[in-house]
Chains A and B, each alone.
Chain A
Amino acid sequence: MTVDGRPPPGGAGEELLDLAPCGYVVMDTGGRILSSNREFERMVGYGGTEPASGDRSLASLLPAGARIFLETRLWPMLELEGAVREIALDLVRTDGSRIPVLFNAVVGPDRDGAPTTIRAVFMETTERHRYEQDLLAATTAAEAARVEANRLSEILQQTFVPPPPPAIPDLRVAATYRPAGDGTVVGGDFYDFFRVDPTHWMIALGDVRGKGVEAAAVTSFVRHTVRALAIEDPDPARVLAMVNRALLEHDTDRYCTLVLASLQRGSRGWDIQLSLAGHAPALVRAAGGEVSELGVPGTALGVREDPTFHTVRRRLGTETVTLYTDGVTDAREGGEFFGEQRLRTLIGSSRHDPASITDGIASTVLRYQGGDASDDIAVVTFQGAEDH
């Protein structure tokens, strides 16, 4: 093609194609090679001196496995779309070695305008192919690492999933824990029940900020510190003050909210002492369904050198007490939070027993989020047994 009528500098017609630095072939729609240029013959191993065999098809120049790919995928795509592009293939050379190429082909009209010929170019990609192999190996390794990390995280998650609460004489208890998302990420919510002496139990429920292995490690640290300290001095506010100091000294910038309740069994039922550290108050449901708060706001753990914690005391009758993490109230549907008001209404309209309240909260909140929990949820409800 010229602009001024003179022959183009690179040659014209057959010469132009013959000298092109890419393999070029014309095939019939059955894949039989009708003509090819010099570079193509070099690729497949003919020096340009020996004549190529007269009846060659593209399939005959491919490894057997690739013929299946050609026949089941590439020819139908060519037929249906008129072109295939950037297909990575290996051509088999006359000496049996393979040469990686990129292959583009179009179905083109012949001189009569009928779509009976296929024009194809082949670009040698020996170097690129090595790079591609490296990339493929790296991708495969990355995928394997991701699968392994998820597996470890799930194992860790299961390790940190709080066990079912122990049987506590004269106390009815129901607890639930639902991890966020698909359960592959370790969350920071936890609860714990432990005995200080035969008539004295502690219940802790908390939320370490963040997710993942580091949050899980802090969760473990807080749980065990609370246990150790409460054996010595079960006053919740004083325990929280010491946990706060321990956490400030701990090499982490994670903080933690916690509600800690001490339950002392007396001759006339249970006495509860409860303290809050940056955590939502407990919700108390009276037998008639009225819901009220229990607890005085306190400082989150691991934040300040001079925190304030208050222990509130109360004699428990027939009411239920519910502790929960903010995965409940912060659950979202679209932009709207589940919120404390919905939670109070839910508890107020529930049956008056710990299992109904706990299960009702977990299932309602999960449903509210369309089954896809964005945060962990931990809920504990307890109630003095009625028969004393």
Chain B
Amino acid sequence: MSFAVRLNATVRGLRDAQAIVFIHGYGCGQEVWRHVAPEFEADHQVVLIDLPGTDGADGSAYDPARHSSLLGYRDDLISLMDELDLRSAVLVGHSVSAMIVALVQIERPDLVDRLVLAAPSPRYIDDAPYVGGFSTADIDDLLALMNRNHLGWQEPLAEMVAGAGSPQIKGELVELFCRMRPTVAAQFAELTFRGDNRADLVEITTPTLVLQCRDDVVAPLTVGRYVADAVAGSELRIIETRGHCPQLSAPGETTSAIRDFLARPPHRVAGR
């Protein structure tokens, strides 16, 4: 099976133009880009994917061993870009995918022209003097809460009652967003919220935009500043919005921030 099928890739916009690949973060799928991605179709080849384990991706795409590390997601993305023959693309990664696109750039600089890190956090758990915003117990709490809220996934109990693959259950799952298989959601949450990618940031070698929400409890301003300081030659842009998903809460501002960044000359003077 091709990676395009596995990752439910959507390709739109101007063929042969520079590609811009949007990668959703933890919790949802490619639908989070629906207000922003279309704005780039006139002058870019726009690629959207669903990460393995999300409802949109093919069920076979997720492998608990391969995806026990962000490197598995990184390799999926590299394989997809090779398959679609995308070179020198703009990679826009939200939340945990900001780290995934950074890893892609570090591994395969030829694939990436520029990076946009939206609401990034290289580490969520405090590690004095670094402040990520959360404690280990907070993340335990999060996982327990996820266990109480399967958000539309009804296996295994409902399947045991209604019979596996019953059309009634399948029907209810159609056209719902932000669904993940509970076991995958738990593993991906572990990976995302207990991970530490601080050391990777300094390895980035391409022009990078850090998009930071003004008031984000998940990835606060201090974390955004930390990322911008760690990535050489990066630019920090603060979006005047609340929450962790600027592409949903402030799509216009998010779009123009990316547009401004892409309009700038490719090589910025080193040293800020």
Contact = CB atoms under 8 A, between A and B. Distances in A.
Contacts of A72: 25-28, 95, 218, 244-245
Residue with the greatest number of chain B CB neighbours at <10 A, chosen from A29, A57, A59, A76: A76
Interface string B79-91: 0000000000000
B222 to A, nearest CB: 15
A77 B243 contact: no
A95 to B, nearest CB: 18
Size category of the binding interface on chain B: 35 or more
Contacts of B140: 65
Contact of A69 (B25, B145, B248): B145
Interface in B19-48: 25-28, 31-32, 34
A139 interface: yes
B217 A67 contact: yes
Nearest to B142: A65
Given A65-B140, A80-B177, A89-B145, A30 B249 contact: yes
Contacts of A65: 134, 137-145
B146 interface: yes
Interface in B180-231: 193, 215-218
Interface in B229-253: 241-245, 248-249
Contacts of A77: 28, 151, 177-178
A32 B147 CA distance: 26
Contacts of B157: 139
B264 interface: no
Interface string A102-143: 000000000000000000000000000000100010010000
A66 B137 CA distance: 11
A90 B144 CA distance: 11
Contact of A66 (B145, B151, B193): B145
A64 to B, nearest CB: 4
Contact of B216 (A57, A69, A71, A89): A71
Given A67-B217, A73-B27, A132 B248 contact: no
Contact of B28 (A57, A66, A69, A73): A73
* Main DSSP-derived SS at the A contact region: helix
Interface in B123-151: 124, 133-135, 137-149, 151
Contacts of B217: 59, 67-68, 71
Contacts of A59: 217
A88 B149 CA distance: 6
A31 interface: yes
A210 B142 CA distance: 46
B193 A81 contact: no
B142 A68 contact: yes
B249 A66 contact: no
Contacts of A88: 145, 148-149
B177 A81 contact: yes
Contact of A80 (B28, B143, B249): B28
B134 to A, nearest CB: 6
Contacts of A68: 124, 134, 138, 142, 193, 217-218
A31 B144 CA distance: 23
B190 to A, nearest CB: 12
Nearest to A64: B138
A66 B141 contact: yes
A63 interface: yes
Residue with the greatest number of chain B CB neighbours at <10 A, chosen from A29, A69, A87, A90: A69
B145 A75 contact: no
A148 interface: no
Given A64-B134, A68-B134, 12 more contacts: A32-B242, A64-B133, A65-B140, A65-B144, A67-B218, A68-B138, A68-B193, A71-B217, A71-B218, A73-B28, A79-B248, A80-B32
9 contacts: A32-B242, A65-B134, A67-B218, A72-B245, A73-B178, A75-B244, A75-B249, A76-B28, A77-B177
Interface of A: 29-32, 57, 59, 63-69, 71-73, 75-77, 79-81, 87-90, 132, 136, 139
